[in-house]
Amino acid sequence: MPDNWSFVIAAYAIAAVALGGYWRRLVRLERDVERRNARPRRPR
């Protein structure tokens, strides 16, 4: 069977994009929460 390196690279690349993308999402959400908490609250 031919080695099909392109398939190997595609599989690893998709895994890296998905897992890296999730990590970036967590970083972005944390930054949003920090920004929201830093804003002064309006008195009720």
Identify residues 1-44 at the interface with other proteins (CB under 8 A): 1-5, 7-8, 10-12, 14-15, 18-19, 22-23, 26, 29-30, 33, 36-37
Residue 35 CA from chain centroid, whole number: 19
The structure tokens listed for 28 are 């972005």
Between residues 10 and 40, which has the closer beta carbon with respect to other proteins? 10
Q: Which residue has the tokens 């398939």?
A: 7
Residues lying near other proteins in the complex (CB under 8 A) are found at: 1-5, 7-8, 10-12, 14-15, 18-19, 22-23, 26, 29-30, 33, 36-37
